[in-house]
A and B are shown apart, each in its own frame.
Chain A
Amino acid sequence: MAKKPISFMLNGRKVETLVEPRELLIHVIREQLNQTGSHIGCETSHCGACTVDLNGRSVKSCTVLAVQAEGGTVLTVEGLPKNGTLHPLQEAFTQEHGLQCGYCTPGMLVRAYRFLQENPNPTEEQIRFGMSGNLCRCTGYMNIVKAVQSAAKKMQAAGGK
């Protein structure tokens, strides 16, 4: 099958590559563009480990075709730090012990990043609902919820974003 040239913004950088129409976004990001932060956990869009931000929305990149990202904007965990400083969510996940094996963490962070844009001042229940597309086997979620809460507070104090 002939490969198509595609191009999109990945973590603020324009990337161009050749893909088969059937290639999944997660594979292209990880294997062709070498951004291995996003992981593959289930391949059936249940676990959320492959969550990336596509055009300002959280999506599961195991169930998006790379060609669908053509001309779009993609953010992965590698794009979270702003000019050298970690995102408040990244700090908070460490502070609150919101990760153990670290495998689900990039998907959690990228989802939480978008969730806090959608709802900057969430209750615990809203966080649990908003993060329900991401599975974690290690933490039991309590510390992840705490981390999202404390990041939200920090970001509010700093005037959002």
Chain B
Amino acid sequence: MIPGTFEYHAPSTVDEAIRLLGEYRDEAKLLAGGHSLLPMMKLRFAEPGHLIDLNRVQALKGIREQGGMIHIGAMTTENELIASELLRKKCPLIPEAARLIADPQVRNCGTIGGDIAHGDPGNDHPAIMLATEASFVLRGRGGERVVPADGFFLGTYSTELKADEILTEIRVASVPAGTGYAYCKLKRKTGDFATAAAAVQLQLDGKTCKKIVIALTNAGPTALKAKEAAAVLTGKTVDDKLIEQAAQKAMAICDPAEDLRGDREYKTHMAGEMTRRAIRQALARAQGK
């Protein structure tokens, strides 16, 4: 459990990081929290020649509000998300999910940007990003582009992010008062990835569901947006029958990989069950219960 040798770079600006990335290309890996990359390097599966540590790039940290949007620096840690008053008020789904990631120590290192850019369907933020309809700021030598979370995740460990680009910022709209939200995650124990999880954000108009977004974690090659499940509920007065229909729609799009957490059948059923629970909890919150 000893990593191979590499050269270490600790840039202090994004430009410098991008320059290094351009210089070393395939030989380089970006280091954020390191809790996935370093173990992989210890097992000598990953042996990058150059490690570019983003932890000293101040510009990638911090959470601020700007014109109704919340801007989250990619290197903001899970615990910083949890501690953020701003997020708790204006986008509570993010800190709720962050609390369910890894353990206290790992949350001090793990970053939202690393979690997203990794493109691991087992990570929690991708589904949260889909549910909050976030967008990502990607910067490369060619400049900066902003892409929506929906469509960013192409496959397992495959995203829109180009080899010479860095995810610098996450942008989410602050949610209107009365927005319901929930992240329900089934895991074997603290620190485990989700067997299955569901993220829900919804708005009510009186009794009817004006808008709802549902996204699933670890139920397929990427985080999945359950569009048909949402369609079942949109514009309707949500009741158990509709929730059950939505859950069935969500299960229909699941394509999980079998592992020790469970087989495909179990994981698919759990994705459905987490969906039911997340919808119910989000609904209750929207109703101020």
Listed in ascending order, the chain A residues whose CB lies under 8 Å from chain B are 1, 4, 20-22, 43-46, 48, 51, 57-60, 63-65, 67-68, 70, 111, 115, 129-133
Contact = CB atoms under 8 A, between A and B. Distances in A.
A63 B35 contact: yes
Contact of A132 (B1, B51, B103, B108): B103
Interface string B1-12: 111111110100
User: By CB atoms of chain B within 10 A, which of A20, A45, A60, A132 has the most?
Assistant: A45
Contacts of B190: 132-133
A100 B14 CA distance: 48
B106 A65 contact: no
A60 B106 CA distance: 7
B148 interface: no
B105 interface: yes
B238 interface: no
Contacts of B79: 57
Given A20-B5, A129-B104, 17 more contacts: A21-B8, A22-B3, A22-B4, A43-B39, A44-B42, A57-B108, A59-B108, A65-B38, A67-B10, A67-B53, A68-B53, A68-B55, A70-B10, A111-B104, A132-B190, A132-B191, A133-B104
A64 to B, nearest CB: 7
A48 B105 CA distance: 8
A39 to B, nearest CB: 14
Interface in B85-126: 102-106, 108-109
Interface of B: 1-8, 10, 34-35, 38-39, 41-42, 51, 53, 55, 79, 102-106, 108-109, 190-191
B191 A133 contact: yes
| A22, A44, A111: most-surrounded residue (chain B CB, <10 A) | A22
Contact of B191 (A22, A46, A115, A131): A46
B8 A45 contact: no
Nearest to A51: B105
A58 B104 contact: yes
A128 to B, nearest CB: 9
A136 to B, nearest CB: 13
B35 A21 contact: no
B92 to A, nearest CB: 18
Given A20-B5, A64-B109, A45 B104 contact: no
Contacts of B41: 22
Contact of B104 (A22, A46, A67, A115): A115
Nearest to A1: B5
A64 B104 contact: no
A20 B4 CA distance: 10
Most chain-B CB neighbours within 10 Å: which of A59, A65, A130?
A: A65
A65 B8 contact: yes
Nearest to B55: A68
Given A59-B109, A111-B105, A133-B106, A44 B39 contact: yes
